[in-house]
Amino acid sequence: MNQILPTRLTSHSEETLRDQLVSPDRYSPYRVFTAEQWAKFRNDTPLTLTEDEVRRLRSLNDPVDLEEVRRVYLSISRLLSAHVEAMQLLFRQRRAFFDANNAVKSPFLIGIAGSVAVGKSTTARVLKELLTRWPSSPKVDLVTTDGFLYPNEALRRENLMDRKGFPESYDIGAILRFLSGVKGGVPNLQAPVYSHLTYDVIQGEYVTIDRPDILIFEGINVLQTRELPADGKAVPFVSDFFDFSIYIDAPEEFIHQWYVDRFMRLRETAFKNPKSFFHRYSQLSESAARAIAEQLWHNINLKNLRENILPTRPRADLILRKGRNHLVQEVAIRKL
């Protein structure tokens, strides 16, 4: 049974729980490596990205560069290749077991979770490019959970705008139907599209997902569970559809700083667009804008991290622990 973390964590209790999670002692479900140790596992995996491509893939204020790809992401790519090959072998064996030659192969699903501002999007995009460039040239798609948020109109009606990003702000039924269709090999599935400019789902706009070999599904709460029913009836979780899951981790104070820094950077860039939902913040003084960023962090994002996101960390297969410089310092992988 997965350990349930307390709703609110002090820095001491968070560190204690982290020690329980990644401790090298025999009771930990994880093996833990420094980033330098982890880098050695890339073996002869080729570096197929250029520095310009990495700059294009990384998010605002994310310092990931070609060296970080070598140090961390090539080994992840090699690991995922082994998992995909094993899954394909199991599929062939199960098809023979059931004598079902017409069985449709299920895509390999990778879930990526973690707090806002921790670097999930960069990780997802870099991995997508690396996986697409495997010698087998698999078809790799990337979908984020943002499109499955309820529209702002619905959130306002239910008084949930200040809970945007919390589990109740997502159309979980739509997510489960989409992932079930992906796993079932259904062609031409539609995933809704979200605009970070307007801070809302774009009505009537979709991206088509047509039977990929690998699907990366990224979002803050993709490893979230719900209360189990007393009658034992099936209650599917989003993570039930994943073949592999990754959690991007960092100390709370680092994420706090990254969030505020990103907000202040956006104030000077994207927020200046009159169409931006946050355009009004670009008109504020620097001190007033920083106060708004702190308020948003403490009243919304920190609460979501403590109540809903961090408690899902022990459910991940791979945990990437970042340091103050936003680069990975430790890698924890679940034991087989």
pLDDT tens digits for range 6-26: 334 444 444 544 555 555 556
* Residues 94-119: tens digit of each pLDDT: 999 999 888 888 999 999 999 999 99
Q: What is the pLDDT of residue 1?
A: 36
Q: What's the pLDDT band for 2 if we cut at 50, 70, 90? A: very low
Q: What is the pLDDT of residue 3?
A: 39
Q: Which two tokens stand for residue 157?
A: 């009606």
Q: How many H-runs (helices) and E-runs (strands) does the chain carry?
A: 11, 9
Residue 289 class from Cβ within 10 Å (0-12 exposed, 13-18 middle, 19+ buried)? buried
Containing 296, the helix (H) or strand (E) segment is: helix 286-296
Q: What is the pLDDT of residue 198?
A: 96
Share above pLDDT 70 across residues of the chain, in percent, rounded to a whole number: 92
pTM: 0.91
Q: What is the pLDDT of residue 17?
A: 45
Q: What is the pLDDT of residue 101?
A: 82
CA 318 – CA 329 distance, rounded (Å): 13
Mean pLDDT across 303-324? 97
User: In the Cβ-directed half-sphere of 3, how many Cα atoms lie within 13 Å?
Assistant: 13
Q: What is the pLDDT of residue 19?
A: 53
All domains of the chain in start order, with CATH? 16-334 (3.40.50.300)
Q: What is the pLDDT of residue 138?
A: 96
Q: What is the pLDDT of residue 102?
A: 82
Q: What is the pLDDT of residue 231?
A: 85
Q: What is the pLDDT of residue 23?
A: 52
